[in-house]
Amino acid sequence: MVSQSHAVHPMIRVAGGPPGDGWTAHGGLQAGAVRSRGKYEREGMLMAPPKKYPDELRIRAVERWRGSDPRPPIVQLARDLDVHPEALRTWIRQDEIERGERPDPRAERLSETEAEELQRLRAENAELRRVNEILTAASAFFASQLDQQRRLL
């Protein structure tokens, strides 16, 4: 039987699933589970293979790389974290794409006018969000003022 909490990696701890669910707490298969054609089968259901590295490790690895000044070589940090260097490099690239620091190679290329319009719409959207926050706060303030006046009457 697999313990309910154990070390998956030196940086994190992960709780295991319920006993007898077909998976071990570290994402591996228990005895009796079958792997077929790149998928894992348990009780007649096909499932995707478990991730090699937990999401929490990915997040912490990218944060550690971002927070370092100067940034360490990816190979060195990967060795320190006991992960494959290409996995860490991929995580960092994906984080840069999500932050808008690197263009997404899968995204369609916009024309210059479309890019300008997108930039204008994003700025307008941000302004509208700020205005909405102000109006929501003002509405709550005036509602509380009315409530206080009604109590006094």
C-alpha to C-alpha distance for 67 and 89, rounded to whole angstroms: 15
In terms of pLDDT, which residue wins out, 87 or 22?
87
Single out the residue of 53, 10, 48 nearest to residue 29, CA to CA.
48
Compute the residue count for the chain.
153
Q: pLDDT band at 36, cuts 50/70/90?
A: very low
Q: Please give the pLDDT value at position 99.
A: 85
Is pLDDT above 60 for 1?
A: no
Query: Structure tokens of 14?
Result: 């992960």
Is pLDDT above 50 for 107?
A: yes
Q: In the CATH hierarchy, which fold is given to the domain comprising 53-118?
A: Arc Repressor Mutant, subunit A (1.10.10)
Q: Where are the alpha helices (DSSP H) in the chain?
A: 55-67, 74-81, 85-98, 112-152
Q: How far is CA 143 from the centre of its chain?
A: 38
pLDDT digits (tens, 9 = 90+) for 123-146: 999 999 999 999 999 999 999 988
Task: Write down the domain spans for the chain.
Answer: 5-47, 53-118
Q: Please give the pLDDT value at position 132.
A: 96
In the numeric block, the tokens 């937990």 are attached to 54
In the numeric block, the tokens 């070589």 are attached to 73
Q: Nearest 5°: phi and psi at 105? A: -65, -20
